[in-house]
A and B are shown apart, each in its own frame.
Chain A
Amino acid sequence: MQLRCAAHAACSQAATGLAGRHRAHVSNVTWGGQQARYCGSHGSRLQQLSGGSQRRQQCAAAAAALDGEVSGVVDEDEDEEQEVINGDLTRRPSNSASSTTEEEEGADESREFVLAMAKVAWETKGEDILVLHVAPVVYWTRYFLIATVFSRPQLNAVLGKMTKEAAEVFDRRLSASPQAGPGGWELLDYGDVVVHVMTADQREYYDLESFYGAAEEVDLPFDTEATVSDVDTWSKTF
């Protein structure tokens, strides 16, 4: 039985019971009755002990918070099950039952929504507005919008305008509208679109751009270079 973790050779040793020190790295995840062994440090699957990927797929499809991207067909999953998978766990194998046209329409709608939010951020003098198409990278959302603000009132303003725009134009409401807290990072979760509004410090600290470096940037329809912030180095009062 070959067990491989792409990231860490020691994990494969641990999985076959050879190396004592790295045993803790192996994590057994049991989901939907199927057990799979993963490298606890890196998340790569080491081995799938039980068969039947179809039920797992159904659980995956039903359990997903939103309809993710259709990636691959059913045949792919059966092949994947046999061999060791070192791939990205956040990518779910899906049923081929989803219609691609519905999928595309949904994606277009999300794109329109995220670009509208980006415009709101730009109008409120947010800086470094970045829209990332993360659907190929993660399954739980489609687009990320990251914007930088410089003060708490500005943060409140951006959040207020975005929630208002979303509720009025797109009829998307949040259960609890966030207010700027002491941390300089607020998040709006619209399901297929996630908006991050952060201060420059927090943005640098968490560095989401490098974390989602695999995601492609979406071009914004407005010219962000044209706006020059008068207050370059305004230290926020958080």
Chain B
Amino acid sequence: MIIDGSRLVVTDNSGAKEVECIKTRGRYASIGDIITCSVKKAVRGKVTQGQVVKAVIVETKKEVQRKDGSVIKFDRNSAVLVNPKGIPIGTRVLGFVTHELRARQMMKVLSLAARVF
């Protein structure tokens, strides 16, 4: 349940470390949603601090339910930076991704991820 103002950890190698959500579609955003963010912390990389970027949420503390009845939740809220077309800006996704992204046509992010749940 990510809202405007939520801070998310960036789990790719784009250079950003932390972003703040500034716009969601609808009230809450969850895994697989693309949100607009402002980069709050960045190291040398493809993005700089203060830049407005889009990101796809990959981990949430709020559990997500699956059709088989299982739920999955993580310890933190994370995102992966993407361009407006949904193509990742970084080249690798560290941390976890779930296969909810597959249903949301985010297979590119999934392909670059080492840990898929």
Contact = CB atoms under 8 A, between A and B. Distances in A.
Contacts of A32: 70-72
B73 interface: yes
A31 B83 contact: no
Contact of A59 (B59, B70, B107, B108): B70
Interface string A79-92: 00000000001100
B66 interface: yes
B18 to A, nearest CB: 11
B76 to A, nearest CB: 6
Interface in A98-149: 138-140
A26 B59 CA distance: 14
B1 interface: no
B56 to A, nearest CB: 15
Contacts of A38: 96, 115
Given A27-B76, A27-B95, A31-B70, A185 B114 contact: no
Interface of B: 59, 63, 66, 68-76, 83, 85, 87, 91-92, 94-96, 99, 102, 105, 107-108, 110-112, 114-117
Contacts of A206: 91, 112
Contacts of B71: 30-33
A194 B75 contact: no
A32 B94 CA distance: 23
Contact of A90 (B70, B92, B95, B115): B115
A76 interface: no
Contact of A185 (B59, B73, B87, B99): B87
